[in-house]
Amino acid sequence: MLHCPNQFIRVAQLLENNSLFGMQFLTDTNRFVPCYCRLAQTLYRQMIETIDCRTLEASNIMGHECFTIAWYEYDKIPALYNSLINANITFMIKMNHIFHGYCANDPPFVYTPENMEKTFVTGMTRMLGDSMTKHIAMHELRHNMVIFDPWNYITPEGYVFCQHVCQLCSKPFKSLDDPNNYKLWGWYQSLTKIIEESFIHDDMFTCVIKEIPLCKHSRVYE
């Protein structure tokens, strides 16, 4: 078995608990959980062929069906999201973010981190503006502190939304220079550069597996 390198695990564990998007483990650090979907058990064999991902499996977490994928096919996750969106199938990326995913019959979109963030912001804004659903949205805000950290957003719409919810919940709006902004941490920047290179070169994952020094031409991963 090709084990997930420790530096990939370190980044994933940080993002799992400190970001809107986060990489998620189940119990096995060699596999990630791309999303929760009540049709995962039914669809995973079809999706293996659709997205050409031989390690895709279905699992169950406390009664919630989900897809899992080997760490070295992490780059196939966007294709999984887009296939589910195109088939009008509901999925949720993280259990603690009710609008971070896609709801059947919502307007379809092409998955990118930016588009997913905009979907999250649009859904939460709509709920906060509706007296029938505002209490659900407020519950989401109170139980997900990462929503109040501006460095977790990657679009202008997300940054403005973060300012709004901080004001709404009487929380200070933090500076991007805050020492808790993990995107400024040296080890995080170095490891994410290495991880990005492993996904964009033909010699897939050589950089990660061999733990080579950071290349000077690496691009910053955001």
Instruction: Summarize pLDDT for 184-199 with one digit per residue, the tens.
Output: 999 999 988 887 776 6
Whole-angstrom Cα distance, residue 214 to residue 212?
7
In this structure, the number of other CB atoms found within 10 A of the CB of residue 206 comes to 12
Contacts of 77 (CB under 8 A, 6+ apart): 32, 34, 69
Asked if residue 222 lies in contact with residue 154, where contact means CB atoms within 8 angstroms, the answer is yes
Q: Check whether 216 has a pLDDT greater than 60.
A: no
pTM as predicted: 0.83
Residue indicated by tokens 């503006």: 129
Residues 6+ apart with CB under 8 A from 107: none
Q: Which residues partner with 61 through β-bridges?
A: 64
Query: In this structure, are residues 119 and 102 in contact, taking their beta carbons and an 8 Å threshold?
Result: yes
Q: How far apart are CA 15 and CA 154, in angstroms?
A: 14
Dihedral sign, CA of 53, 59, 65, 70?
Answer: negative
pLDDT reading at 209 higher than 80: no
Q: Is the pLDDT of residue 136 over 60?
A: yes
**What are 16-65's pLDDT values in tens digits?**
888 887 778 767 889 989 999 999 999 999 999 999 999 999 999 888 99
Does the pLDDT at position 163 exceed 50? yes
Q: Do 91 and 81 touch, CB atoms closer than 8 A?
A: yes
Instruction: State the SS3 of 125-148.
Output: HHHHCCCCCHHHHHHHHHCCHHHH
Angle between the N-to-C axes of helices 156-168 and 113-128, in degrees from 0 to 180, rounded to the nearest 10: 30
